[in-house]
A and B are shown apart, each in its own frame.
Chain A
Amino acid sequence: MALKPQLNYNEELETEYSRLFILAFPNKAVQPFASYWLESDHSLMGNSTLEIKHKMAEHGIEVAENSGLLPDHIVSELEFIAYLASQDDEKARQTQRQLLEQHCAHWMPLFIEALNKANPMPYYQLAADFLKQLIPSEMKES
């Protein structure tokens, strides 16, 4: 299952994205990085980030330099999962399973919980709900 990327941006969505994930004022930012949730000092670019980077490298891909995203940004990780799902080989399936069970399952629920608390507008609420279902369902499938 893949979401069709939405290409019509509006200011409301962008402002909401900023409020939720970047500058957050007046709330605490819902940090979209695995490292933030997995490292004891909430540091970004932690070992968890590098582990994802290495996993990507194993499959011959990396985060685009001009994307402004870290490898463990939620966008990067979900896209990694989508990429793996599109590959028809055992190794990709194995990595996908590892990623979901041993990595995503450790931080995405915390991220989703924080996102729900930030009272997001419907677009991001739906994304949160979708993400919440995605992890267990993909874990079953893969």
Chain B
Amino acid sequence: MSTHDHFDPSRRAFLGATAGGTALTIAGLPSQALARINAPHDPEKLKETTEVFGFCDMCYWRCGLKIRSRDGRAVKIDGNPEHPNNWGVVCGKGNAGLMVAYAPNRLKHPMKRVGERGEGKWKPISWDEALETTAKELLKVKKKYGPQALALIGHGSWEKPYHRLAHAFGTPNTTSPVFGLCCGPRGLSNMMIMGRNLTGNETLDLENCKYFLMMGRNVTESLHNGETLGWVNGVANGAKVVYFDPRYSITASKADEYYAIRPLTDHAFLLAMINVVINEELYDKKFIAEYVVGFDELKQRVQKYTPEWAEPITEVPAKDIRRLAKEMAAKAPSVFVYSPRRLTRTSNDFGTGMSITILNTLFGVWGRKGGVFTPQKYKVPEIDLPEFEHATAHRIDSGGDFNYEQPEIPLAHIQDEEGKYHRADGAGVMGRWPIANPQYGLTNEMWRAMAEQKPYPIRALMTAGGNGFLNSTNYDIIRKALETVDFYVASDVIPNEMNMYADILLPEASYLERYDDLQVGGAREGYVAVRMPAMKPLHDTRDAWTICKQLADRMGLSAYFPHDSIKELLDDRLKKAGSSLAEIEKVGILKIPADPVKNFPLDHGGKLKIKTPGGSTKAELIPGMLKQMGFDKALDYVEQVRPNEDEFHMTFGRIGFHTHARTQDNVWTADLMRENVLWIHPEQAAKRGIKEGDLVKVSDRKGRSGEIKAKVTARIRKDTIFMVHGFGHWDKRMTTANGQGVADSNLASYAVDPHVGSMSMGLSLVKVEKV
């Protein structure tokens, strides 16, 4: 290794003369310029700002951005008024994006582990050494165990090149938490019944809806700008809001009616709604006749689920269930049951999800104004690439969107007839989790496969963003997986508990400092948006595409990264779509205009095109594919766990200014909320001698526990506690987030949905005591 490649703490910092060559005059700078504390602010002397376009990485809604820079530094983030995800609005999280780039704690240099794995002893190395080592170690694993022994877990709007690299490497084992830990059962429900994807950026006609039946969709505090804006406009336009949640959230406070439904019982309520809608003939008869099969069978199946049956289970009065069904029917089709975004709660999330899709279908909301619109797609072809080893692993989406494609159902066993390995997490594999999405996989089951080395050895792990500890729910499995693999390479912008275990740590440039692959979305308008760098990458960081290209080149996989730069790739893709990089850089987003005839075909004499994974051209209320597998039993209600008298249901959720477990160390968002607290009902608090602000211990039946401050409030059911997700970091490198609050992930259940394989996080029962 030459000294040139070596990281050199004291190497010469200067390149030499600036481009101008000669020294600039001192005029124009106040004489006290270097005394930061005395420096006068003189707006007249400020340089001009430049403006670039991007899309946000602070949460998964991915709002369009305009970023202003001055003097080589991004200084202000605004919304792109043309972008349908936010129409110019940026939230607190979005504004705090600048501190992702300027965070003192961000990862700055490639690092190599020198202590024990997870101990946190590192040395800085050059990019060349980091990439050489990574390529060498991955090829070693490939040679010894085969390409399937690599797992890739990605979580960020920049993870796409890593998936491509892993697929090129030859492994089917690429995964993102979006399916198994978040939206899986919901996406699957709409797919199985309607052949539609209804998650990611939801295609709901919020502005024109007249009746929102919201199953814990906390739209004001999850805070996706376009969604919140649309919902607020819908309410302003006179929509009725009926909100269900064990906790009186901000959204509940804006509702016309609020039901503190018993935790985990949404499915029982929804089945009773279906029962009333069918028996009282409140459904859209024309729509059912033309577009739906399985109605009679469904009618038979739901007869036992009367409102009177549901009342003691859900604590929602039977007479209200009947009334709500009638009210909704009167406003249909400008109505919908608003699904929770994350549907990984009960022991039958799939059934819950399907009952939501069924109700929406009975009300005939598809393709109708005020219901679910049909999105348009801006067609931007992918680049031409050689075939991947695993066809099912080929990720077809763009920019990380949740675009659900029909799963191919492979054979049983771990290998197919050609000797190609099936996914280790069992997603899309007969006999394991056949209906789980094989492109996103089951991240929870991938961790388990690594920890247990079953059904076959996974010996190398690559992560692109994410935090296994705080987004999954079993520390033992995550830790064991991280300790078991032969080689672990992590790339991220920030340090966290998971990448602490890496052998090689690759620092990513933040989303303000780079190009990324295109954002291709489907709203009323079809659109494609670009992410441009607002400044050069700080420190010694690089963007995902460059890192993956440089790894591909070192592993003989250059054919999968045929361009010399990400800009070339973008230009290539855009030219195939009849535009160019230069053109999109001027406006940030290219759009096909909204078209009511296409968005709302049934309001304009058009037809709805349906194709379900089972091959039906009509909506399948009882999907035939599920019946073949015996999975249609998910339609039936399953009894849920109940707390003992001294226990609580453990619930968690979002707040408007934090996302997942990735913003708690951002000093700007932390300024709004530094730690989470435990919501507990005043009666239960009094019983335990707990007062507001007291430190309490929360422990589950498995003996896991955490200490957190109490928020004593009547805004929650007596049998339920709540905490905001994403806190409880213990990585000392996160100097702001470290030790603040408790991680819900260490208290939530790690049971799995028996049909989907996604997690059933809400099954956990906990005790609370004063410390």
- Contact, CB under 8 Å: A48 / B36: yes
Closest Cβ neighbor of A31 among chain B residues = B104
Given contacts A38-B36, A51-B39, is CB(A68)–CB(B109) below 8 Å? Answer: yes
A18 touches B21 (CB 8 A): no
Which residues from chain A contact B289 at a C-beta distance below 8 Å? none
Q: Does A88 contact B (CB under 8 A)?
A: no
Interface: B628 (CB within 8 A):
no
B540 to chain A: closest residue by CB = A68
Per-residue 0/1 for A1-36: is the Cβ within 8 Å of any B Cβ (1 yes, 0 no)?
000011101010111011101111111110101101
Q: Are B102 and A22 in touch, CB under 8 angstroms?
A: no
CB < 8 Å: which of B72, B121, B540, B667 contacts A15? B121
Is there a chain B Cβ closer than 8 Å to A75's Cβ?
yes
Q: A57-B24, A102-B34 are in contact. Are A44 and B102 (CB under 8 A)?
A: yes
Minimum CB–CB distance from B740 to chain A (whole Å) comes to 15
Chain A residues contacting B73 (CB-CB under 8 Å) are 45, 49-50
Q: Does A47 contact B (CB under 8 A)?
A: yes
Residues of B within 8 A of A44 (CB): 102-104, 538
B14 adjacent to A62 (CB under 8 Å): yes
Whether A55 and B18, one on each chain, are in contact in the complex, defined by CB atoms closer than 8 angstroms, is no
Residue pair B17, A58 in contact (C-beta under 8 Å): no
Least CB separation from B14: chain A residue: A61
Stretch at the interface among B5-13, B307-315, B360-368, B702-710: B5-13
**When the two chains form their complex, are residues B8 and A29 in contact, meaning their CB atoms are under 8 A apart?**
no
Residues 69-114 of B contacting A (Cβ, < 8 Å): 71-73, 98-99, 101-105, 108-109, 111, 114
- Contact A64 to B12, CB < 8 A, known contacts A29-B105, A45-B538: yes
Residues of A within 8 A of B99 (CB): 41, 43
- Please tell me if the beta carbons of A43 and B102 are within 8 angstroms of each other in the complex: yes
Cβ B102 vs Cβ A45 within 8 A = yes
Cross-chain contact B24 with A58 (CB below 8 angstroms) = yes
B323 contacts across to A, CB distance below 8 A: none
- Residues of A contacting B71 in the complex (Cβ-Cβ under 8 angstroms): 50, 53
A103 within 8 A of B: yes
Question: In the complex, which residues 713-753 of chain B have their Cβ closer than 8 Å to any Cβ of chain A?
Answer: 731-733, 735
24-46 of chain B: CB within 8 A of chain A: 24-26, 29, 31-39
| Contact of B539 with A70 in the complex, beta carbons under 8 Å | yes
Interface presence of B287 (CB below 8 A): no
Q: Give the contacting residue for A7; candidates B3, B16, B124, B539; CB below 8 A.
A: B3
A51 & B668 in contact (Cβ 8 Å cutoff): no
With a cutoff of 8 Å between Cβ atoms, the chain A residues found around residue B72 in the complex are: 53
* Contact partner, B124, options A22, A52, A98, Cβ 8 Å: A22
Q: How large is the interface on B (under 10, 10 to 19, 20 to 34, 35 or more residues)?
A: 35 or more
The reply to whether B34 and A55 contact each other, CB–CB distance below 8 Å, is yes
A129 in the interface (beta carbon within 8 A): no
Q: Which DSSP category, helix, strand, loop or mixed, fits chain B's interface?
A: loop
Q: Does A135 contact B (CB under 8 A)?
A: no
Q: Which of A24, A57, A102 contacts B733 (CB 8 A)?
A: A24
**Known contacts A28-B732, A51-B33, A51-B36; is A76 also within 8 Å of B668 by CB?**
no
Contact between chains at A61 and B735 (CB < 8 Å): no
Within 8 Å of chain A (Cβ to Cβ): is B122?
yes
> Which of B13, B114, B733, B735 has the most CB atoms of chain A within a 10 A radius of its CB?
B13
Measured CB to CB, the closest approach of chain A to B431, in angstroms, equals 43
Q: Are B26 and A42 in contact (CB under 8 A)?
A: no
Whether B38 and A22, one on each chain, are in contact in the complex, defined by CB atoms closer than 8 angstroms, is no
**Closest residue to A54 on the B side, CB-wise?**
B29
Most buried by A among B102, B109, B495, B733: B102
Given known pairs A29-B735, A60-B21, the reply for A103 and B35 (CB within 8 Å) is yes
Q: How large is the interface on A (under 10, 10 to 19, 20 to 34, 35 or more residues)?
A: 35 or more
Near A by CB (< 8 A), chain B positions 345-370 give: none
Interface residues in B470-502 by Cβ distance below 8 A to A read 495, 500
Contact with B along A114-135 (1 / 0, CB 8 A): 0000000000000000000000
- Complex alpha-carbon distance, A30 and B335, angstroms: 56
Q: A46-91: which have CB < 8 Å to B? A: 46-55, 57-70, 73, 75-76, 79-80, 83, 91
B120 within 8 A of A: yes
B173 to chain A, nearest CB (A): 29
- Residues A65 and B39 in contact, CB atoms below 8 Å apart: no
Q: Which of B17, B33, B34 gathers the greatest number of chain A CB atoms within 10 Å?
A: B34
Whether a CB of chain A sits under 8 angstroms from the CB of B20 is yes
| Residues on the A chain within 8 Å of B732, using CB | 24-28
Given A41-B667, A45-B538, A79-B14, A23 and B23 contact (CB-CB distance below 8 Å): no
**In the complex, what distance in Å separates the CA atom of A46 from the CA atom of B37?**
12
B300 to chain A: which residues have CB within 8 Å? none
Q: Which residues of B contact A49 (CB under 8 A)?
A: 73
Residues of chain A lying within 8 A (CB to CB) of residue B495? 23
Bound form: Cα–Cα A75–B124 in Å: 16
Please indicate the chain B residues that have their CB under 8 angstroms from the CB of A68 in the complex: 108-109, 539-540
Question: Min CB distance, B47 to chain A, in Å?
Answer: 10
A23-B111, A45-B73, A79-B13 given; A102·B32 CB < 8 A: yes
Tell me the complex Cα distance, A9–B23, Å: 35
Interchain CA distance A38-B39 in the complex, whole Å: 12
Q: A9-B8, A42-B667, A103-B34 are in contact. Are A25 and B104 (CB under 8 A)?
A: no
Contact with A along B196-226 (1 / 0, CB 8 A): 0000000000000000000000000000000
**CA distance in complex: A37, B123 (Å):** 24
Q: A60's contact among B9, B24, B103, B538, by CB below 8 Å, is which? A: B24
| Chain A residues whose CB sits within 8 angstroms of the CB of B29 once the complex forms | 54, 58
A99 contacts chain B at the CB level, 8 A cutoff: yes
> Is B104 in contact with A29, judged by CB distance below 8 angstroms?
yes
Nearest A residue (CB) for B15: A64
* Residue in A14, A34, A62 with the greatest tally of chain B CB atoms within 10 Å: A14
Shortest beta-carbon distance from B458 to chain A in Å: 27
- The answer to whether residues A5 and B733 also contact, given A41-B99, A55-B34 and a CB cut-off of 8 A, is no
A52 touches B24 (CB 8 A): no
Give the residues in chain B near A70, CB-CB below 8 Å: 538-539
Q: A15-B114, A23-B733 are in contact. Are A62 and B15 (CB under 8 A)?
A: yes
Q: Which of B14, B33, B114 contacts A11 (CB 8 A)?
A: B114
Contact with A along B520-548 (1 / 0, CB 8 A): 00000000000000001011100000000
Q: What residues on A are CB-neighbors of B500 within 8 Å?
A: 25
Complex: chain A residue closest to B731, CB-CB: A25
CB of A69 within 8 A of CB of B13, answer yes
In the complex, which residues of chain A have a beta carbon less than 8 angstroms from the beta carbon of B123?
A: 11, 14-15, 17-18
B15 touches A9 (CB 8 A): no
Closest B-chain residue to A48, C-beta based? Answer: B36
Tell me, rounded to whole Å, the shortest Cβ–Cβ distance linking B637 to chain A. 49
Query: CA–CA, A132 to B590, complex, Å?
Result: 57
**A60, B21: Cα distance in complex, Å:** 6
Q: In this complex, what residue of A is CB-closest to B17?
A: A60
CB distance from A9 to the nearest CB of B (A): 6
Q: Which residues of A contact B (CB under 8 A)?
A: 5-7, 9, 11, 13-15, 17-19, 21-29, 31, 33-34, 36, 38, 41-55, 57-70, 73, 75-76, 79-80, 83, 91, 98-99, 102-103, 106
Q: Can you give 25 contacting A-B residue pairs, CB < 8 Å?
A: A14-B123, A15-B123, A22-B122, A24-B732, A25-B120, A25-B732, A34-B36, A38-B36, A41-B667, A41-B668, A44-B104, A45-B73, A45-B101, A45-B102, A45-B538, A51-B33, A53-B71, A58-B29, A60-B17, A61-B14, A66-B15, A68-B109, A69-B539, A98-B34, A106-B36
7 residue pairs, one from A and one from B, having the closest CB atoms: A68-B540, A25-B120, A64-B15, A102-B35, A14-B123, A103-B34, A43-B102
6 additional contacts, CB 8 Å, given A19-B121, A49-B73, A64-B14?
A24-B732, A58-B23, A61-B18, A75-B10, A79-B13, A103-B36
